[in-house]
Structure 1
Amino acid sequence: MELLSVNVGRLRAVEHTSAASGLSAVDKQPVAGPVRVFAPGPRGTGASGVEGDEIGDPRFHGGEDRAVSAYAREDLDRWERELGRTLADGAFGENLTTTGLDVNGALIGERWLIGSGAVLEVTGGRVPCSTFQGHLGEQGWVRRFTRAGQPGALLRVIEPGTLRAGDPVRVVHRPDHDVTVALLFRAATLERRLLPRTLVAAPWMESALLKTAREYTEKHGGG
């Protein structure tokens, strides 16, 4: 298991974005590194947890529990075959492109040791938006990506450090529950009846997803 690339984005004007500024940094490119990762502070400050990476809409990106994003090269390869086009590392706006790691099967709260001692903790899955769809230029992409159920992971930084392509990735902790990135994503999107089940992962869950799960459970019961 290793990093294939570390990817950062710079703000630029795009047609499809929810940001009032009209700017987005979804177009992320691999950098040689080393690249520092760190806890960036609360969401809304405009901060990514990856040095050199910019945030277009801090309402939905960045902050402590969305500091870093990861996507598996194996899943990008599958989309290449399905879409009939080349997808470079970083094409889905991910900060980390991995290989040999089951990103969507990672447990919420699972911890990865990478590079110079950086420890990242899985908090949820990436929810697609119109900016992502506009970036790829695929009609109906949000629905298609959602139905595929392979969102990639969001992570918080537990221990800061530096990363570069080729760094090994080791899973150093797995919590005692069965809520994976893929399960939480399905629960938050197409199978909301699963939301009460995901609350066993509440201590580690990304805050917006946790709010959704709690509100649904309060209204509908379950668990």
Structure 2
Amino acid sequence: MTGRLASVNLGGVTEAEWAGDASGRSGIDKRPVEGPVLLGVDGVAGDFIGERAHHGGPDQAVYAYAEEDAAWWSAEIGRSIRPGGFGENLTTYAVDVTDAVIGERWAVGSALLQVTKPRTPCTTFAGFWGVPDLIKRFTVRATPGAYLRVLHEGEVGAGDPVEVVDRPAHGVTIGEVFRAMSLEPELLPRLLDAPDLPEQIQEKVRRRLAGRS
């Protein structure tokens, strides 16, 4: 499967009452940039991350959201959502991000990326959009976008193809992980079939399953 990058987006410093970290600063307001951008193991060059306890790091170095899912939200809330409006670094086109399999690898530009986990909505996200019930609505919609590891550092730019070069046979998807953790706990056992799911999530799954038994 091959799609492309509609845009690459970087965030500067936004200061606001709704911002997530203790200093009231956030990097959620990302804007499209021209030219190549370096994707590193710990994050995207030039991208500000305000709350490092919950963003950035090897398991969530890059965040991708599908242009098609953004279009649904634009119609749902009745206003245009520009690329980067979900706080995503990569806005994709013709890539089924929700059905991406945990551990699958994307060749993009000169970088090699690996799908790791869905995004969890937060109060910063709701504050940035100015939609108080956004967390609930985002959870019900269950198109969370995907975080990715950077397996091979490289540069990417708008228009670059996104090629899925490897897809694990277990079939556990971004959407399935999100629903299991938020809406459908009966799916939790399936998540342990995905070895590339971050250990923090695997441990949370094991604790929940132990509590149910």
Report the TM-score when normalising by structure 2: 0.96
Give the match for residue 20 of structure 2.
Answer: 18
Query: What are the residue-to-residue correspondences of 1:8-157 with 2, within 5 Å?
Result: 8-40=10-42, 49-116=43-110, 118-157=111-150
1:188 and 1:212 in contact (8 A); partners too: no
1:205 aligns with 2:197: yes
Q: What CA deviation, in whole Å up to 9, does each residue of 1:97-152 have, x standing for no partner?
A: 00000000000001000012x11100010000000000011120000000001000
Give the match for residue 211 of structure 2.
Answer: 219
Secondary structure in structure 1 of the residue aligned to 2:87: coil
Give the match for residue 45 of structure 1.
Answer: none
Report the aligned-residue RMSD: 1.0
1:121 and 1:157 in contact (8 A); partners too: yes
**Alignment gaps of 5+ in structure 2:** none
Secondary structure in structure 2 of the residue aligned to 1:200: coil
Report the TM-score when normalising by structure 1: 0.92
Q: How many residues align?
A: 211
CA drift at 1:210: 2.1
1:186 aligns with 2:186: no
Runs of 4+ displaced beyond 3 Å: none
- The CA distance in 2 between the partners of 1:27 and 1:132, in whole Å, is 10
Q: Which moved more, 1:93-102 or 1:212-221?
A: 212-221
Give the match for residue 43 of structure 1.
Answer: none
CA drift at 1:207: 3.6
- The CA distance in 1 between the partners of 2:97 and 2:14, in whole Å, is 28
